[in-house]
Chains A and B, each alone.
Chain A
Amino acid sequence: MTTPAPSGDLDRPAVVDAQPITYREAMRSAIREALAQDERVIVLGEDVADYGGTYAVTKGLHEEFGRDRVRNTPLSESGFVGAGIGAALGGLRPIVEIMTVNFSLLALDQIVNTAATLLHMSGGQFSVPVVIRMTTGAGRQLAAQHSHSLEGWYAHVPGLKVVAPATVEDARWMLPTALDDPNPVIIFEHNALYGEQGTLDPHGAPVDLESAAIRHRGDDVTLVVSAGMVPKALAAAQTLAARGVSAEVIDLRSLRPIDIGTLQESVSRTHNAVVVDEGWRTGGLSAELAATITETCFWTLDAPVRRLAAAEVPIPYARHLEDHAIPQAADIADAAVELLEVGR
């Protein structure tokens, strides 16, 4: 981990025989297990075979399972995402990889107009058990066509389930649950997380796709984050501790549905909330979260909910500009301190 580890005694015993593993390896391990255990599982996407996946998640899997099951596609996002949806209708359990959320816009028709609607339009006859994985987020100087965070757009759509694993445990154990789900599940993998190391309980098991997780306990302020903002919020919590502020960090995990109960419980204890999103502010996920917290916790809040989001700009290339375009750990810590001053 490049970020300070949170207190290790959060509702579970210390992991015995824990194995160090990267987020990328954890994801690959989940896909490998799915391919090995269920012959209905196939992997579809651009360069998932010989190249090993753009972020090397599927590396080597085509050698183990063959090119029919780990299937390279042409650069046809709408075509192969739609084919994944059709294959799910036809009884397979496809895992479709899209290089980045930016490219997924070429398949937006299939995801929003087809995958999300078929069950309803057909009066409950045709469910679409497809899993669509895609990379999201900035931080690698890839500029405006490879760096956006559009999770909130997908979280807007009824019929989809949207998750963002931020830990190696979730990278490893969300996938089997997603494959088990009869609905389309979109998994957002933040590109900055692939190299993150963590430990996996060798006796781990599938995790749910609905609940938020408290990654760090605190009493003074709740930091609500997801995906690439989780390590930053954990770092901010350490900084805040040194400044005498006890911050609680909630990793949303699921962006649709949102676990309102966990948010409400936390904010009713801390009386303060900072919502952090790597997406844009206007009409974004942070707006939804701030409104939800305000609606459900208004009378327990000491101050208005504070929002931190990406600057209203296409993500720029230059390092210093990119850094300023998205919330950083220091911004989160500063926002929390300012918020507490307002409420004082």
Chain B
Amino acid sequence: MTRFRLDGVTADEARGLLDDMIRVRVFEERCAELYAESKIRGFLHLYIGEEAVAAGVIGALDAADNVLATYREHGHALLRGVPAESIMAEMFGKATGCSGGRGGSMHLFDAATRFYGGNAIVGGHLPLAVGLALADQTRHRRATTACFFGEGAMAEGEFHEAINLAALWNLPVLFCCENNRYAMGTSLETSESQVDLALKAAAYAIPAWVVDGMDPLEVRRAARHAVAAIESGGGPVFVEFQTYRFRAHSMFDPDLYRDPAEIERWKQRDPIDTLGRWLVEQELLVDDDLAALWDRARAETDQAVAAADAAEVEPVDGLVDHVTAPRVERGRVPTGAP
């Protein structure tokens, strides 16, 4: 049994974390069913097991901050405030989807909540995070850019280029490594010569911490600490959140590369079960309220599915919309001699 400690996290906040994680869990479980029903197609990557990371970090951000995530990002989008209906509609390929049906599961975007994807080239969004932070620094805009990526991205050159730039230019980036130990089917041990990921990040002369990603209260404390350090002008912070996905990499993955006993061991640390039980034990939550959290999450997801089902698809004559943005006509036609 995980021993949690509040230590700076209020009881309300702890209940909020549980609520957030349950919302993601219910949403994701439903996505798996909808995939089986062929309502959702393409690749579908579920966040089940890892919910404490997004819940802990995103709740420590405010509206001015930027969030970038990977292709396993439904939970991040949901907790950032992208409406469940528009996420579900996106996965249904509908016009009301948050990317107008152009992105699908891997490419959720939402300008209103400064949610910059939904990025499916591993490591490709890290330089983008650096650029967003550079824009904020240049414009004297106080904001943190939180960038989530898996440990697999740390083998990519773009990780090293991006973290070097962020460190060199003292940029307000929170690098959130969601270390779930497997890059698809490739284990950390077989893909990294140095498995101490924080040590790798620390080589760029920035703070680099390791946090238990199955403990949402620890995640929240670390995220808050990191954001404070970043906003005080201290430059980027790297945090490795040690976590685990309970499901396969995607719906296509038969999960042949993991020992079932290992999966079971991690499931014992399910952040939703453990935090829920602990809050009840501590008399910070009663069973009825816990049940109500699940009911509310189910209602939210039901409503999202119903709305997505009822929504229209984009008309085909809009196929090549949004390839280039229209610009105000400017510029004379050049003529004459070179």
**Which chain A residues lie closer than 8 Å to B121 at the CB level?**
109, 113-114
How far is it, in angstroms, between the C-alpha of A122 and the C-alpha of B120 when the chains are bound? 13
**Which chain B residues lie closer than 8 Å to A291 at the CB level?**
none
User: Which among A83, A84, A89, A177 has the greatest number of chain B C-beta atoms within 10 A?
Assistant: A83
How far is it, in angstroms, between the C-alpha of A206 and the C-alpha of B113 when the chains are bound? 36
- Chain B, residue nearest A83 (CB): B131
Within B322-338, the residues touching A (CB, 8 Å) are: 322-328, 330-338
Interface string of A121-162 (1 = CB under 8 A from B): 111111100000000000000000000000000000011010
A169 within 8 A of B: yes
- Chain B, residue nearest A234 (CB): B338
B126 within 8 A of A: yes
How far is it, in angstroms, between the C-alpha of A281 and the C-alpha of B165 when the chains are bound? 38
**Contact B338–A169 (Cβ < 8 Å):** yes
**Contact B127–A123 (Cβ < 8 Å):** no
A253 within 8 A of B: yes
**Contact A113–B332 (Cβ < 8 Å):** no
Least Cβ distance of A142 to chain B in Å?
24
**Contact B101–A123 (Cβ < 8 Å):** yes
**With A11-B335, A83-B165 known to touch, is A90 a contact of B327 (CB < 8 Å)?**
no
**Which chain B residues lie closer than 8 Å to A88 at the CB level?**
131, 135
**With A10-B336, A122-B117, A209-B331 known to touch, is A86 a contact of B324 (CB < 8 Å)?**
no
How far is it, in angstroms, between the C-alpha of A114 and the C-alpha of B99 when the chains are bound? 15
How far is it, in angstroms, between the C-alpha of A251 and the C-alpha of B335 when the chains are bound? 10
**Contact B165–A80 (Cβ < 8 Å):** yes
**Contact B109–A123 (Cβ < 8 Å):** yes
Question: Which of the residues A89, A161, A177 comes within 8 Å of B131, measured between beta carbons?
Answer: A89
Total interface residues on A, CB under 8 Å, equals 75
Least Cβ distance of A89 to chain B in Å?
6
Question: Which of the residues A76, A126, A127, A253 comes within 8 Å of B334, measured between beta carbons?
Answer: A253
- Chain A, residue nearest B158 (CB): A78
**Contact A183–B132 (Cβ < 8 Å):** no
**With A79-B164, A87-B138, A114-B121 known to touch, is A124 a contact of B132 (CB < 8 Å)?**
no
Question: Which of the residues A74, A119, A207 comes within 8 Å of B165, measured between beta carbons?
Answer: A74
Question: Which of the residues A6, A89, A110, A173 comes within 8 Å of B132, measured between beta carbons?
Answer: A89
A302 within 8 A of B: no
**With A85-B127, A121-B103, A215-B337 known to touch, is A127 a contact of B325 (CB < 8 Å)?**
yes
What are 20 pairs between A and B in contact, CB < 8 Å?
Answer: A10-B335, A82-B161, A83-B128, A86-B127, A86-B133, A86-B135, A89-B128, A89-B132, A114-B124, A118-B117, A119-B324, A120-B323, A121-B103, A123-B97, A123-B109, A124-B325, A177-B330, A180-B328, A213-B334, A231-B338
**Which of A's residues lie within 8 Å of B, judged by CB?**
1, 3, 5-8, 10-12, 42, 68, 71, 73-74, 76, 78-92, 94, 109-110, 113-114, 118-127, 158-159, 161, 166-170, 173, 177, 180-183, 196, 198, 205-209, 211, 213-215, 230-231, 234, 251, 253
